[in-house]
Structures are given as C-alpha cells and as structure tokens.
C-alpha cells in the first residue's frame, strides 16, 4: 500500500463522536475518471447565492483577502471532482450547497477565478495533478481562522478570527455522503454523471467503496468519548496522531485526542514571541508546515532514504501567507454598527487593566524581546507563560501534550540519536523540521531565504528558539479580543462579562455556534432562553462538566481580593472593546 498518507482532524457526530484519519495511500489507485452516462441529466438545483458580507478594515485588500482564502497549502483530502460532485447523505442536494455549508458552520463563498466552483472559504484545489486522481481538494488556514458575526443585523467578516465551524460534523457528513453514494444506485448514478468516469461507472463505484471502507476504519481507530462542538479542535492530538502514528505506521503512538481547544485568532501572530496555547511554537514555517501535515497533507516517513520527509507541503505558499498575516490588523470596535465607546468607562477600565491584567497580557506600547538575543537583531512581542496549575484553567490540553512520548521506529538513528522513544513534542518538531529542510535542499533555497522563511527565530549562535515552558498556558496581547468569543483556551466561557466573574458564577451550560453578537456582554447569544428553536437545533450544547470543558481558573483580579463590582466589570469590558 505504501506510506504516503493524508490526515484529517476529526468527525463530530451529534451524540456519538468520532475521528477520521484519511490515508492518501488508500486513494492512490482511485482514478478521477471521465466520460460515462453522458445523457444523464444533472439534477443539481439552482444554487443559492452566498450571503452578503460586510468587511472591516483590517489592512487587507480584496485581492489579498481572496488569495488568503483560496491559495493552496498542500492539503489533500478528497479528489476535487468528487467533492464538487458529491451530494449530501440524506438528500439530492450538493454537499457544497450554501445551506449545508452554513449548517456546518463554514463560510459560503461566491465563485471566482481562484474559486471556480464556489467552495467555502478555505476549501481549495491543490495544484498537483495525478494522472489517475486528478487534482485534490484540501483546506487552508482560512477554513479554521476566518469568521462571520451578525452585528446589528449585518453579517460582518472577521479575517483571522476564530470560527464557528464544526470540523467533526463536517467529517462525519463527508463520510456519510460517500457511504450513501456508494450504496444508493440513484445517488451514485447522479454522482457518476457529474464525475463522468472514462473507465466506466462500476470501476468508479469500486474505488468509491474502497475509500468508504478507509473512512469507516479510521472512524473506529480514532473515536473520542465526547464531541467538541463548534469552533474547537484537539489540534495537537490530531497532528501527533497523524505524524507520529499514521505516517510512521506506528499504532503505539496513537492517543485519543480528547483535549479540544478554541482556534486562536491570527492577527499579531507573526509578531509574537511564542504562539500556540502552550507557547510551543515560534518558527512560522515549521508551525505552518505542521498545520498542513495535520490537515490532510501527505508525508513520506517509511520509505527509501531519498524519499524520506518528502511531502505535499507548499512551503512558498506558506511563507506568503505568513507575510500576509504580518499585515493583518486586529478588528477595531465597529462604532457605526455597535455604537460609540464611552470614554469615561474606557478610562476607568484602563486603570483596572493596568492594575490587574497588564502583568500578563501585554499592551501597546508592547514589551519586546531583546534585539541582542536574535540572530538578525529582530524583536518580538513578549508573551507570558503561566504554569497551568497556577492559572487553574482546564489542564487536559497541557497534561495530554506535556508527558506524551512517541516511538521513533525507523527514524531513531535518522533524527533522534538512536533513541527509540522521545517526548512527543521533540518528535513532532524534528520531523517537521526535517520535512522543511528537505524541501529547502531539493529546491536549493538559499540560506538567507531559509532564514527569512523561519521568521529569524534563532539565537545569535544559530540555535533555534526553545519553548519556555510547555506545561503552561500563553497569556498574549488582547487586541481585538471583543471579536474572539468564547473565551479561555478551551472556549469554556461564552462572554467577556462571564470571564470577569468568579468561576462559580460562570455559566455551567451554554450554546455555541450562533453568530448573533451581544455588544453589552461581548460574546454571542448563548443561552437556551435567547435562542430560537431553529438556532438551538444548529447550535452545540456546551457542558462544562465534561472532561476538557472546565471553565475554572483565571480567577482574577485576585482570588483573595474583593471581586469586581458591576460598574468595574462594565468599565473593564468597555476598555477591552477599545483594544
């Protein structure tokens, strides 16, 4: 079968849960075939136009924004023509129908030169074309780091913002759609007419069934006990299962990915000293290459030495994307839609922030790293790493990642000095670094360009930046925080108003997935009483009693001090809106 593999992040079945890992090797023989049933009428209904969107000024032109949405990065999930032709599992409407995309929490997009078939934001065609499989459809950063909010009746785009997408349900729906298409004659005939297989419908059906079996097996192998819901993912769990488990063909390295976290916002990311919730990454090309390998990118590990570490990662495109993010500005509070800020409250809130928050959450003019500590004299915005037991927030993400180890198999003597087992973070970092280094070597990228791609994340002696403390959570700047609900690393607190209350007073249960913004409490409508029956049906019920979902910790201004009065809380919220 070979060991070129493609990896998926997850499947949330409402009420059952499950994770898919997609092996590209199983698809190596799948032909994107053309020419069958030419007279069969395509039943695709008239497409619904994507909703009208208002864009805030975040420093991007329309052209740059579109490139961010639809420039490929090396992700390969399913043959592109298959995805475009696939119907929903329980009806004859296309999978990419606008209403279905909305149900899954993704953002519909209009067709255009970079998105000819009108796929959702962040769903793209990979440029590589195999004579048997054709182009692939994969994801980009935009699929997981772009959001729409309903502000005063207008749908407003937040570029780089944490989304309301439900990746698990998307993957479950994709698997169900493939299964239904393979099993139902009428559904398959319509699919085959759209794909138009040159080698005949039965050959296409056989290959579709092979693909279906692969997905079913992967669901069982990666099942999780609880669904994550909208806007969350155990990214480290999935990436490590992909790179250390599937790619290495080492089942002992697989773990249940049961520590979901919110997707972080991306503005300021290239300027930060450390990123990721546990402050484990600095080098942007390594960080972004790891993201691609965790979202359907291909990687060769168990192969001949000349092919080892070859991958589908599009390094140049990732470097371009990071440069675009460097220009992305935090979204300013939209006063024309939500009203002007109260200057008296902003001033009072600023004083409270300086007293209670500034020590951890950096504020302009930002505290910066020292130029003398960087190989190129670069400076970055300092972030504070707070030991997880001290901050008291849900520990599962830290406790899953920190102690985790990985068997190194055939890579022991290649990357790990003969060690058969190493910390999982070390394994991931070394494999991703070797993957990028191979790309640089094969394409003969000069050293000065390599250094730029790495974001100059090296000490003067050439040693790479080393994480301060992976058993800690990152407290970064809060620019644009008003547009990033729900809060804490695991999305367990629905609004800023709730965030500023003692943990015992925060909601124990709330709903996630609604886009209607509450400008007073700063978050989305989230209580059962606020939501209509239709909104509740689409939303996810977040229960903080489930492992990984705790809303405890971050008990500030100080657990030994009197908590904020209502007026103090409102003043601090007003200041946070201004950031």
Which of 20-34, 248-262, 358-372, 532-546 has the least mean pLDDT?
20-34
Return the bridge partners of 262, or none. Answer: 232
The alpha carbon of 571 is separated from its chain's Cα centroid by a whole number of angstroms, namely: 33
CB half-sphere exposure, 340, CA atoms < 13 A:
3
Rounded (5°) CA angle 499-257-475:
35
pLDDT at 161 over 60: yes
Residue 530 in domain:
yes
pLDDT at 26 over 50: no
Residue-level pLDDT at 559: 63
Residue owning tokens 């440029």? 127
pLDDT at 2 over 60: no
pLDDT at 159 over 70: yes
Burial class (CB in 10 A: 0-12, 13-18, 19+), 451: middle
Residue 517 in domain:
yes
* Domain span including residue 555: 485-578
B/e letters for 373-384, b = 16+ CB within 10 Å, e = fewer, are ebbeeeebbbbb
Residue-level pLDDT at 62: 97
Residue 495 in domain:
yes
In tens, the pLDDT along 375-418 reads 999 999 999 999 999 999 999 999 999 999 999 999 999 999 99
Residue 313 in domain:
no
Q: How much is the average pLDDT of 432-436?
A: 98
Residue-level pLDDT at 578: 98
pLDDT at 483 over 70: yes
Q: How much is the average pLDDT of 25-36?
A: 30
Q: Which two tokens stand for residue 331?
A: 């979204």
pLDDT at 22 over 60: no
DSSP result, 466-482: --S-TTEEEE---TTGG
561 pLDDT tier (thresholds 50, 70, 90): low
Residue-level pLDDT at 23: 31
171 pLDDT tier (thresholds 50, 70, 90): confident
Percentage of the chain modeled with pLDDT above 70: 91
Residue 358 in domain:
no
Helical packing angle, 167-183 and 201-221, nearest 10°: 140
Give the number of other CB atoms < 10 A from CB of residue 143: 24
Residue-level pLDDT at 46: 59
Q: Which residues contact 184 (CB under 8 A, 6 or more apart)?
A: none
Residue-level pLDDT at 35: 34
In tens, the pLDDT along 202-258 reads 989 988 898 888 778 767 777 889 999 999 999 999 899 889 998 999 999 999 999
Q: How many domains does the chain have?
A: 1
Give the number of other CB atoms < 10 A from CB of residue 447: 8
pLDDT at 43 over 70: no
Residue 535 in domain:
yes
Residue-level pLDDT at 49: 87
Residue-level pLDDT at 123: 98
Residue-level pLDDT at 522: 98
pLDDT at 20 over 70: no
Residue 503 in domain:
yes
In tens, the pLDDT along 49-75 reads 899 999 999 999 999 999 999 999 999
In tens, the pLDDT along 202-212 reads 989 988 898 88
In tens, the pLDDT along 75-97 reads 998 999 999 999 999 999 999 99
Residue 93 in domain:
no
Residue-level pLDDT at 537: 87
């Amino acid at each position: 079968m070979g060991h070129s593999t493609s990896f998926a992040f997850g499947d949330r079945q409402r009420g059952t849960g499950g994770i898919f890992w997609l092996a590209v090797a199983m698809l190596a023989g799948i032909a994107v075939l053309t020419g069958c049933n030419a007279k069969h009428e395509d039943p695709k209904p008239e497409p619904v136009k994507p909703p009208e969107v208002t864009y805030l000024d975040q420093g991007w032109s329309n052209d740059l924004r579109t490139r961010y949405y639809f420039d490929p990065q090396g992700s390969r999930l399913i043959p592109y023509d298959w995805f475009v032709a696939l119907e929903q599992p329980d009806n004859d409407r296309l999978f990419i129908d606008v209403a279905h995309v909305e149900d899954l929490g993704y953002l519909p997009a209009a067709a255009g030169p970079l998105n000819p078939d009108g796929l959702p934001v962040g769903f793209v065609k990979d440029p590589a074309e195999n004579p048997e499989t054709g182009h692939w459809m994969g994801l980009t950063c935009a699929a997981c780091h772009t959001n729409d909010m309903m502000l005063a009746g207008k749908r407003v785009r937040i570029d780089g913002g944490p989304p309301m997408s439900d990746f698990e349900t998307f993957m479950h729906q994709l698997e169900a759609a493939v299964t239904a298409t393979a099993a139902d004659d009428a559904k398959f005939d319509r699919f085959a007419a759209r794909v138009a297989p040159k080698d005949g419908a039965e050959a296409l059906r056989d290959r579709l069934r092979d693909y279906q079996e692969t997905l079913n097996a992967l669901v069982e192998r990666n099942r999780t006990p609880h669904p994550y819901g909208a806007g969350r993912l155990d990214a480290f769990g999935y990436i490590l299962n992909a790179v250390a488990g599937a790619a290495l063909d080492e089942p002992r390295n697989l773990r249940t990915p049961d520590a979901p976290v919110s997707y972080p916002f991306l503005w300021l990311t290239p300027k930060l000293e450390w990123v990721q919730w546990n402050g484990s990454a600095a080098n942007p090309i390594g960080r972004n290459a790891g993201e691609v390998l965790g979202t359907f990118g291909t990687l060769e590990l168990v192969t001949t030495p000349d092919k080892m570490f070859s991958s589908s990662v599009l390094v140049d495109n990732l470097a371009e994307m990071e440069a675009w993010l460097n220009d992305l500005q935090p979204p300013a509070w939209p006063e024309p839609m939500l009203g002007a800020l109260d200057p008296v409250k902003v001033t009072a809130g600023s004083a409270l922030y300086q007293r209670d928050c500034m020590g951890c959450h950096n504020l302009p003019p930002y505290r910066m790293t020292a130029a003398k500590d960087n190989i190129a004299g670069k400076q970055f915005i300092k972030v504070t790493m707070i030991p997880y037991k001290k901050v008291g927030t849900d520990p599962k993400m830290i406790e899953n990642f920190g102690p985790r180890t990985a068997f190194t198999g055939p890579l022991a003597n290649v990357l790990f000095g003969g060690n058969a087992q190493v910390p999982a973070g070390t394994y991931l970092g070394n494999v991703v670094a070797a993957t990028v280094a191979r790309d640089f070597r094969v394409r003969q990228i000069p050293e000065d360009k390599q250094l730029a791609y790495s974001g100059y994340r090296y000490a003067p002696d050439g040693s790479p930046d080393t994480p301060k403390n992976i058993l800690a959570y990152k407290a970064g700047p809060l620019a644009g925080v008003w547009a990033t609900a729900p809060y804490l690393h695991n999305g367990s607190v629905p609004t800023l108003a709730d965030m500023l209350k003692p943990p015992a007073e925060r909601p124990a249960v709330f709903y996630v997935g609604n886009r209607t913004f509450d400008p007073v409490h700063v978050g989305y409508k989230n209580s059962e009483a606020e939501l209509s029956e239709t909104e509740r049906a689409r939303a996810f019920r977040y229960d903080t009693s489930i492992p990984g979902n705790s809303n405890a910790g971050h008990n500030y201004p100080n657990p030994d001090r009197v908590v904020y009065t209502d007026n103090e809380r409102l003043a601090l919220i007003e200041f946070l809106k201004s950031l």
